[in-house]
């Protein structure tokens, strides 16, 4: 580990000829928020340099500065020792920097080849020539892609493959990958890391953003930890420094971490995690029954295929699967926003099949939707209004809102669920991700007669403190006897807090097992579609 001085800045290393790209005292602000402050770091040719940090720590900002999406407010970026000030991605691409973005950066409605041509050529689009180039690259790196397939029809893994090829076809000198593995299956991750390794060996400087410690162990030559926009630590021997790196990332003793949190970070093996026994009495009436539910989308494609699942009061059931295997549809069915084409949904003893969302709410179904911006809340309205974003709970008298009553209740909920905001009347969109999610949980968990809580991707994009709070709230609800359905793409998270795990693959439940770390391998195989 390279020591870090008190101010949190790293002891500056001299410019080395091997440095392909270096940041010198770089600062970037968004409004009053400093996303990066005084960051100094160098990336060398032939190395895989991992950036580790919590959500919001500034890793992506760092990548976006190098790629020219944002411009630094202070400090200097150097490319091969010369000052580099890209005014847009075009400049960076010309300089030999390629980037795989955190979210797919592909045009769904175009073919693979057209996506590759974008920004790569002028004049006539010689699609055949590009297809041949693509062929050559994919064979060289052991990938497989159909050049004329429409990107929108590809699987998540294949799309990520297009992203990588899109970069490789430019023969970059610097390759930036921003959390490229977040959406991939274990096997696909392995393949991707191999490609990354080879690219580095060929002399490219690779910057890999990740929060998975296993990946750091596998490929990293060097790790830089970013915390609150500053460099918190650096290591040239990451394999040996994992614990120290994590400590630098979360800045507190590992022992104080919630065991589930520790496990989903990948620091404890899991066997020593003390599991709280779920209070499930003798098998009584189910809180939630999903009975052979089938969902077809507008084009007739089956998205959920005879899914059957029951949950007892107080039980936590996790649903895992690679994104796009029916999780969103399952969430929508249980929220009442997508009536199933066949099958039944029963909450308590009420058959809610085909009923509108308000009937689900009335029956005691709380929903934390997977996308809190798109479905869970309305960012343009106030915190109070969002806490009452429920037709049956808006307090009215003669059709008029009782604003005072709402405000007071909002203050109570904020205190109870630790929602931190300057007041109940601030715009919801101005809250941090963690506080937004706590507010959504507050609304759903204070629902009168709550029987079932559906939590879809409840910790996505949250920092460690907020994740712990969410786990705590979910457990508290379970102890109150609420049945919980946890849909998550973070396998470790589900294993850490669920009593039972079901695997969704292509809209079917392909396997169920107890929520134990020992089941990891088996679940991984099921997620990939291998029958166990």
Partner 1 sequence: MTISVPPSARQRTRLWPSGLVVPLGVTIPVASVLASFAVGLLLVVLMGAPLGQALSSFLDGAFGSSYAISVSLNRAAVYSLVGLGFIFANRANLTNVGAEGQIAVGGIAATAVALVPGIADLPLGLSFVVPTLAAMLAGAIWGGIAGVLKARIGTSEVISTLLLSFIAVWLVYWCVQSEHLLRQPMTSAATLPESLPIPETTQLPLVTGDYGAPANLGLPLAFFLAIAVAVVLGYSRFGFQLKAVGFNPLAARRAGFSTRQTIVVAFLVAGAFGGLAGAVMLLGDQYSLKAGFSSGYGYDGLVVGLLARGSTVGVIATALLFGFLRSGGISMEMGAGVPAALVLVIQGLIVVSVSGAAFWLDRRQPAKE
Partner 2 sequence: MTTAMLAVFIGSSIRLAMPLLLAAVGELVSERAGVLNMSLEGMMLAGAFAGAVGSWSTGSPLLGLIIAIVAVGPVALIQAFLTVTLRANQIVSGLGLNILVLGSTTLGYRWIFGARSRETIPGFDRWSPPLLKDIPIFGDAVFTQVWLVFAVPFIILAIAAVLRFTVLGISVHAAGEDPGTLDRAGVSAVRIRYGVILFTGSMAALGGAFISIGDIHTFTEGMTNGAGYLAIAAVIFGNWTIWRSVIACLLFGTATALQFQLPAMGVHVPSAVLIMSPYVLAFLSVAGLAGRQTAPKALATPYWR
**Which residues of this chain interact with partner 1, rule CB under 8 A?**
30-31, 33, 35, 55-56, 58-61, 335, 337, 356-358, 361, 367, 369, 374-381, 385, 389-392, 394, 396, 399-401, 403, 427, 429-430
Q: Which does 389 bind (CB under 5 to 8 A by kind): partner 2, partner 1, none?
A: partner 1
CB-nearer residue toward partner 1: 58 or 191: 58
Minimum CB distance to partner 2 smaller for 120 or for 310 = 120
Output the smallest distance, CB 523 to partner 2, in A. 33
Q: Counting beta carbons within 10 angstroms of the beta carbon of residue 482, is it exposed (0 to 12), middle (13 to 18) or buried (19 or more)?
A: buried
Angle between helix axes 127-141 and 156-168 (nearest 10 degrees) is 100
The one of partner 1, partner 2, none whose footprint includes residue 532, by CB under 5 to 8 A per kind, is none
Across 359-426, the runs of DSSP E, i.e. the strands, are 365-368, 396-397, 400-401
Report what 230 binds from partner 1, partner 2, none; CB cut-off 5-8 Å by kind: none
276 binds, among partner 2, partner 1, none (CB under 5 to 8 A by kind): none
Which residue, 237 or 396, is less far from partner 1 as judged by CB? 396
The option from partner 1, partner 2, none interacting with 297 (CB < 5 to 8 A, set by class) reads: none
Sign of CA dihedral 339, 344, 348, 349: positive
Other beta carbons within 10 Å of 328: 19
Distance CA(484)–CA(356), nearest Å, equals 21
Instruction: Tell me the backbone φ, ψ of residue 245, rounded to 5 degrees.
Output: -65, -45
Min CB(84)–partner 2 separation in Å: 15
Residues that bind partner 2 (CB under 8 A): 67, 69, 88-90, 92-94, 99, 101, 105-110, 114, 117-125, 166
Residue 248: strand, helix, or coil: helix
Q: How far is CA 311 from its chain centroid? A: 26
| DSSP letter (8 states) at residue 159 | H
Buried b / exposed e across 34-57, counting CB within 10 Å, b at 16+? Answer: bbbbbbbbbbbbebbbbbbbbbbb
Which residue, 64 or 457, has its beta carbon nearer to partner 2? Answer: 64
Distance CA 194, CA 180 (A): 13
CB of 457 to partner 2, least distance (A): 22
Is the CB of residue 459 less than 8 Å from the CB of residue 493? Answer: yes
Residue 394 binding partner per list partner 1, partner 2, none, with a CB distance cut-off of 5 to 8 Å that depends on partner kind: partner 1
Residue 178 CB, nearest approach to partner 1 (Å): 10
Minimum separation from the CB atom of position 393 to partner 1 (A): 9
Residue closer to partner 1 by CB (options 47, 179) is 179
Query: For residues 163 and 493, which CB has a smaller minimum distance to partner 2 in the complex?
Result: 163
Cα 436 to chain centroid distance, Å, stands at 16
Residue 67: which of partner 2, partner 1, none does it interact with, CB under 5 to 8 A by kind? partner 2
Task: Map residue 81 onto helix, strand or coil.
Answer: coil
Strands (E) in 45-73, as ranges, are: 48-52
| Residue 513, beta-bridge partner list | 501
Residue 506: φ, ψ to 5°: 45, 45
Which two three-digit tokens encode residue 171?
């023969």
267 binds, among partner 1, partner 2, none (CB under 5 to 8 A by kind): none
Alpha-carbon distance of 182 to 164, in angstroms, equals 14
- Choose from partner 2, partner 1, none: what does 89 bind? Cβ within 5-8 Å by kind: partner 2
In terms of CB distance, is 172 or 270 closer to partner 2? 172
**What is the smallest separation between the CB atom of 288 and partner 2, expressed in angstroms?**
35
Return the number of the residue (88 or 356) whose C-beta is nearest partner 2.
Answer: 88
Indicate the residue among 69 and 389 with the shorter CB distance to partner 2. Answer: 69
- Shortest spacing between CB 273 and partner 1, in angstroms: 30
CB of 335 to partner 1, least distance (A): 6
Residue 396 binding: pick among partner 2, partner 1, none (C-beta 5-8 Å cut-off by kind): partner 1
Is the Cβ of residue 258 or residue 385 nearer to partner 1 in the bound state?
385
CB of 352 to partner 2, least distance (A): 30
Cα–Cα distances in angstroms (integers) from residue 55 to residues 92, 196, 328, 439, in the given order = 25, 23, 23, 19
What span, in angstroms and rounded, lies between the C-alpha atoms of 392 and 389? 9
Which helix (H) or strand (E) is 43 found in, with range?
Answer: strand 33-44
């Amino acid at each position: 580990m390279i020591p870090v001085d008190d101010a949190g800045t790293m002891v500056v290393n001299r410019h080395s000829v091997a440095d392909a790209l270096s940041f010198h005292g770089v600062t970037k602000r968004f409004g009053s928020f400093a996303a990066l402050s005084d960051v100094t770091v160098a990336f060398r040719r032939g190395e895989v340099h991992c950036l580790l940090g919590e959500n919001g720590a500034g890793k992506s900002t760092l990548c976006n500065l190098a790629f020219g999406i944002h411009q630094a407010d202070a400090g200097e970026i150097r490319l091969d020792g010369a000052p580099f000030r890209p005014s847009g991605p075009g400049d960076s691409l010309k300089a030999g920097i390629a980037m795989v973005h955190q979210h797919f950066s592909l045009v769904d409605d175009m073919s693979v080849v057209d996506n590759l041509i974008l920004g790569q050529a002028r004049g006539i689009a010689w699609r055949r020539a590009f297809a041949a180039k693509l062929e050559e690259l994919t064979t060289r790196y052991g990938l497989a892609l159909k050049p004329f397939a429409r990107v929108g029809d590809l699987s998540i893994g294949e799309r990520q493959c297009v992203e990588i090829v899109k970069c490789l076809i430019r023969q970059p000198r610097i390759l930036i990958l921003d959390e490229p593995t977040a959406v991939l299956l274990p096997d696909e991750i392995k393949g991707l890391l191999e490609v990354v390794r080879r690219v580095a060996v060929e002399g490219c400087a690779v910057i890999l953003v990740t929060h998975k410690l296993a990946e750091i162990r596998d490929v990293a030559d060097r790790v830089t930890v970013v915390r609150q926009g500053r460099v918190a630590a650096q290591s040239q021997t990451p394999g040996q420094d994992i614990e120290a790196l994590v400590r630098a990332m979360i800045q507190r003793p590992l022992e104080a971490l919630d065991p589930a949190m520790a496990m989903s970070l990948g620091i404890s093996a899991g066997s020593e995690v003390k599991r709280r026994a779920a209070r499930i009495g003798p098998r009584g009436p189910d809180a939630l029954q999903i009975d052979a539910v089938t969902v077809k989308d507008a084009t007739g494609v089956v998205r959920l295929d005879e899914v059957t699942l029951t949950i007892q009061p107080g039980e936590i059931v996790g649903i895992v699967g690679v994104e796009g295997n029916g999780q969103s549809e399952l969430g929508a069915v249980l929220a009442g926003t997508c009536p199933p084409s066949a099958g039944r949904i029963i909450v308590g003893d009420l058959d809610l099949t085909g009923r509108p969302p308000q009937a689900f709410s009335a029956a005691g179904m709380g929903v934390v939707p997977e996308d809190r911006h798109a479905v869970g809340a309305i960012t343009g309205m106030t915190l109070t209004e969002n806490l009452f974003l429920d037709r049956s709970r808006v307090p009215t008298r003669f059709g008029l809102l009782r604003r005072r009553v709402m405000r007071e209740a909002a203050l109570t909920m904020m205190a109870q669920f630790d929602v931190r905001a300057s007041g109940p009347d601030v715009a919801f969109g101005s809250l941090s991700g963690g506080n937004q999610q706590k507010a959504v949980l507050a609304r759903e968990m204070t629902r009168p007669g709550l029987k079932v809580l559906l939590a879809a991707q409840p910790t996505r994009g949250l920092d460690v403190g907020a994740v712990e709070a969410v786990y705590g709230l979910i457990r508290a609800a379970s102890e109150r006897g609420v049945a919980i359905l946890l849909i998550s793409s973070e396998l470790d998270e589900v294993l850490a807090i669920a009593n039972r795990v079901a695997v969704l693959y292509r809209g079917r439940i392909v396997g169920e097992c107890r929520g134990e770390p020992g089941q990891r391998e088996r679940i991984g195989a099921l997620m990939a579609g291998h029958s166990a």
